[in-house]
A and B are shown apart, each in its own frame.
Chain A
Amino acid sequence: MRLLTHNMLASNVRGVTSGYPLKLEATNWCTKDVDLNADFIRGLLPKIDWRALVAATRALNLPELLPEEQPSEDEIFAEGAVNVEGSAIRRIHHALLEIHVQQGALICPESGRSFPIEKGIPNMMLHEDEV
Chain B
Amino acid sequence: MPRPEIQAPPDVFYNEAEARKYTTSSRIIEIQARISERALELLALPNDGVPKLLLDIGCGSGLSGETLSEHGHQWIGYDISQSMLDVALERETEGDLLLADMGQGLGLRPGVIDGAISISAVQWLCNADKSSHDPRLRLKAFFGSLYRCLARGARAVLQFYADNVKQSEMIVTYAMRAGFAGGVVIDWPHSSKAKKSYLVLTCGAPSVHTSLPKGKGEDGEMCSDDDDGDSSGEDGDRTVGIYERNRPNKKQKTKKNGKGKQWLLKKKEQMRRKGHDVPTDTKYTGRKRKTYF
- On B, residues with C-beta under 8 Å from A are 49-53, 72, 74, 76, 80, 85-86, 89, 96-101, 104-109, 111-114, 130, 132, 141, 145, 149, 151
B106 to chain A, nearest CB (A): 8
Q: Which chain B residues border A23 with CB–CB below 8 Å?
A: none
- Across the interface, name the chain B residue whose C-beta is closest to A34: B94
B contact residues around A122 at 8 Å (CB): 98-99
Give the residue among A1, A37, A131 with the most B Cβ atoms within 10 A.
Answer: A131
Task: Write 18 A-B pairs (CB below 8 A) sorted by A numbering.
Answer: A1-B97, A4-B53, A4-B74, A8-B76, A8-B113, A12-B107, A37-B51, A39-B51, A40-B50, A40-B52, A43-B52, A44-B53, A47-B111, A97-B74, A121-B89, A121-B97, A124-B98, A131-B141
Residues of A within 8 A of B (CB): 1-2, 4-5, 7-12, 19-20, 37, 39-40, 43-44, 47, 49, 97, 119-126, 128, 131
Which single residue of chain A is at the shortest CB-CB distance from B73?
A40
Instruction: Please give, as numbers and ranges, the residues of chain B lying within 8 Å of A20 by CB-CB distance.
Output: 109
| In the complex, chain A residues whose CB is within 8 Å of the CB of B108 | 8-10
Point out the residue from B52, B86, B99 that lies within 8 Å of A124, measured CB to CB.
Answer: B99
Q: How far is the CA of A17 from the CA of B186 in the complex (A)?
A: 39
Apart from A2-B96, A5-B96, A47-B53: 16 A-B pairs, beta carbons within 8 A: A1-B96, A1-B98, A4-B53, A8-B112, A9-B98, A9-B109, A10-B109, A43-B50, A47-B111, A120-B89, A121-B98, A125-B100, A125-B101, A126-B101, A131-B104, A131-B132
Q: Is B104 a contact of A12 with CB atoms below 8 Å?
A: yes
Given contacts A1-B96, A128-B132, contact A40 B74 (CB under 8 A): yes
- Known pairs A37-B51, A120-B89; A10 contacts B97 (CB<8 A): no
Q: Are B98 and A10 in contact (CB under 8 A)?
A: no
Query: Which of B98, B106, B145, B149: most chain A CB closer than 10 A?
Result: B98
Residues of A near B50 (CB, < 8 A) are: 37, 39-40, 43
Which B residues touch A39, using CB under 8 A? Answer: 49-51
Residue of B nearest to A118 (CB): B99
Chain A residue numbers with a CB within 8 Å of B100 are: 123-125
Chain A minimum-CB-distance residue to B80? A125
9 A-B pairs closest in CB distance? A12-B107, A124-B100, A5-B96, A39-B50, A40-B51, A47-B112, A128-B132, A123-B99, A121-B97
CA distance in complex: A49, B113 (Å): 14
Whether B97 contacts A9 by the Cβ 8 Å rule is: no
Smallest CB separation, A5 vs chain B (Å): 4
Q: How far is the CB of A128 from chain B (nearest CB, A)?
A: 5
Please give, as numbers and ranges, the residues of chain B lying within 8 Å of A9 by CB-CB distance: 98, 107-109
B107 touches A10 (CB 8 A): yes
**B53 shortest CB reach to chain A, Å:** 6
Bound-complex Cα distance A10 to B101 (A)? 14
Q: A43-B52, A47-B112, A128-B132 are in contact. Are A11 and B96 (CB under 8 A)?
A: no
Tell me, in angstroms, the Cα distance from A123 to B108 when the chains sit together: 14
Measured CA separation A43–B154 after assembly (Å): 14
Inter-subunit contact B107/A124 (CB<8 Å): yes
Residues of chain B lying within 8 A (CB to CB) of residue A40: 50-52, 74
A37 to B48, CA, bound (A): 13
Report the separation of the CA atoms of residues A7 and B109 in the bound assembly, to the nearest whole angstrom.
8
Q: Cβ of B99 and Cβ of A125 under 8 Å apart?
A: yes
Provide the bound-state CA to CA distance between A122 and B76, in Å.
12
Q: Which of B101, B104, B130 has the most CB of A within 10 A?
A: B104
Given A5-B76, A8-B76; A121-B85 close (CB under 8 Å): yes
CA distance A88 to B96 in the complex (A): 24
Cβ distance B86 to chain A, nearest Cβ, rounded Å: 8
